[in-house]
Amino acid sequence: MRTIVATAILVLIALLASLIVYIILRRAWALVRAGIERRRLRGLEVRLDDWLASGVEPIPETLTSLLPYPDRFLFSRLCVARLRDADDVSRVHMISWLDSARYIDRWIAQLSSRSAWRRAHAAEALGIVRIERSLEPLIATLKDPVFDVRMRAARALGAVGGRRARAALIGTLTEENRWSVIRIADLLSEMGREVPGELIEAYRTMSRAARLASIELIAQIGDSGVTPFLLEQLEDLDRDVRARAAAALGRIGDGRAIPGLRAGLKDAEWPVRAMCAKGLGSLFVTSAVAELRVALRDREWWVRANAADALRQLGPVGLDTLANALDDADAFARDQALATLEESGELNRRLSLLCSTDPVEAAAARSLVESLVARQPRRRFDAIRDRHPLPEVRRAIAAAEMPRMSAGAAS
């Protein structure tokens, strides 16, 4: 029995020793190989630079007769790395070498590999090369079961470009994965002015998530030509579609959207009202002051906030409206107007006029203080006074409030 145990221990020790030797040898070989590759790569860089600098289009014999490994492999990696920032002439030279060495065909074939890593690597490489014959294989890869492979193929199609690539990417917007929709939309945003029109053409066949993403994308890269389409979406049964369309109209800035946005302030759904208020501010619609003043009384905070911010953007007429709203019977309107005036610095500016030598300006400032004293809680008023940056104005506010406070105490 002891002999068996001793033999087992010796076998185990031998196995461990063999494993340690294997790890050491493997590590040593990796270091040696890395050193060889670095030296070979430096020589290949010199050859590539000489070729590109010479302006000679045919591939020189020194580059056509490279050893399959490591030289040809290293040179392919070098070309791919250089292609990212290469000028047009250098791109043509390096792509011609990759094509002659059959690397492009190999990457296209690897899109069907059993290895997801190989498929992803091939898609990324083809996106850098941007050669037209890779278009259809990349489109087919958009149906790959692995998400990372699909997204690399999508990025490659975005780099290749063209109507066929755009149509394929627009088709992927029907996927229900929200993150993929966002990423595809980002790719489409960089693919030219034709994208908004093509999105509009495909809009009716899209899923709800894709429609919402498409409207945002149209707003990002579209111009006034998409206004009629967006105005149609203000009539959609989906409140989110209507809200996104209103936001898009405000962003594009076409005056034809004004009637629709003003009507949208009466929409039954608060996201639509909020986006319409924001759009009217973006379009600087001073004629909508009355409607925005009403929106300050909305029961939804987002609508009130957007309406107040829109009034702020309208300049003096909007700021006067906000100041007048400090006396509104509706507490929501008062609070929102006060918050916006404070955030914009307009409240402090108007209070500073207490120290003005102009009697009209000083009287307006005193009236503002009286409104704050009458309508705001004592603690809120004290905070407004104490936060003013100028000591003389803080003293003037305190002096202006005293008559009103004394009258309140007497009653």
Domains and CATH numbers, the chain: 246-344 (1.25.10.10), 353-411 (no CATH)
**Is this structure's pTM higher than 0.95?**
no
Q: What span, in angstroms and rounded, lies between the C-alpha atoms of 199 and 210?
A: 10
CA distances from 211 to 174, 202, 236, 394 (A): 9, 9, 12, 53
Q: What span, in angstroms and rounded, lies between the C-alpha atoms of 204 and 268?
A: 24
Query: Could you tell me the pLDDT band of residue 409, with boundaries at 50, 70 and 90?
Result: very low
CA distances from 200 to 145, 213, 232 (A): 28, 12, 12
Comparing 246 with 382, which gets the higher pLDDT? 246
Rounded average pLDDT over 297-310:
96
Q: What is the pLDDT of residue 256?
A: 95
Q: What span, in angstroms and rounded, lies between the C-alpha atoms of 304 and 112?
A: 55
Task: Report, in angstroms and rounded to the nearest whole number, the Rg of the chain calculated over CA atoms.
Answer: 34
In the predicted structure, residue 372 carries a pLDDT above the cut 80:
yes
Query: Could you tell me the pLDDT band of residue 210, with boundaries at 50, 70 and 90?
Result: confident
Q: What is the pLDDT of residue 320?
A: 95
Those residues whose C-beta lies under 8 Å from the C-beta of residue 281, and which sit 6 or more positions away, are 250, 292, 306, 309, 310, 311, 312, 313, 314
- Output the CA angle 250-348-338, nearest 5 degrees: 55
Judged by phi (left if over 0) then psi (alpha if -120 to 50, else beta), residue 115 lies in beta
- The rounded mean pLDDT for the chain is 90
Q: What is the pLDDT of residue 400?
A: 73
354 and 400 Cβ atoms separated by less than 8 Å = yes
Rounded average pLDDT over 116-128:
96
Those residues whose C-beta lies under 8 Å from the C-beta of residue 76, and which sit 6 or more positions away, are 98, 101, 103
Q: What span, in angstroms and rounded, lies between the C-alpha atoms of 116 and 137?
A: 15
Residue whose C-alpha is closest to residue 92's, from 110, 78, 79:
79
Rounded average pLDDT over 130-144:
95
Cis check: omega of the bond before 228, within 30 degrees of 0: no
Which of 166-180, 205-219, 277-291 holds the top average pLDDT? 277-291
Annotate 216-280 with three-state secondary structure: HHHHHHCCHHHHHHHHHHCCCCCHHHHHHHHHHHHHHCCHHHHHHHHHHCCCCCHHHHHHHHHHH
Comparing 62 with 156, which gets the higher pLDDT? 156
Q: What is the pLDDT of residue 312?
A: 96
pLDDT digits (tens, 9 = 90+) for 379-392: 988 898 888 898 98
Lowest mean pLDDT among 173-182, 256-265, 271-280: 173-182
In the predicted structure, residue 407 carries a pLDDT above the cut 70:
no
Q: What span, in angstroms and rounded, lies between the C-alpha atoms of 121 and 128?
A: 11
- Which 3 state secondary structure label does DSSP give 112? coil
Look up tokens 């957007």; give the residue.
306
Residue 63: both structure tokens together: 């580059």
Those residues whose C-beta lies under 8 Å from the C-beta of residue 169, and which sit 6 or more positions away, are 154, 157, 158, 184, 187, 188, 191
Q: What is the pLDDT of residue 200?
A: 94
Rounded average pLDDT over 59-75:
85
Q: What is the pLDDT of residue 56?
A: 76
In the predicted structure, residue 178 carries a pLDDT above the cut 60:
no
CB burial class (10 A; 0-12, 13-18, 19+) of residue 132?
exposed
Residue whose C-alpha is closest to residue 211's, from 187, 183, 176:
176
In the predicted structure, residue 411 carries a pLDDT above the cut 50:
no
Q: What is the pLDDT of residue 176?
A: 60
Those residues whose C-beta lies under 8 Å from the C-beta of residue 131, and which sit 6 or more positions away, are 95, 99, 104, 160
Phi, psi values for residue 317, rounded to 5°: -65, -40
CB burial class (10 A; 0-12, 13-18, 19+) of residue 174?
middle
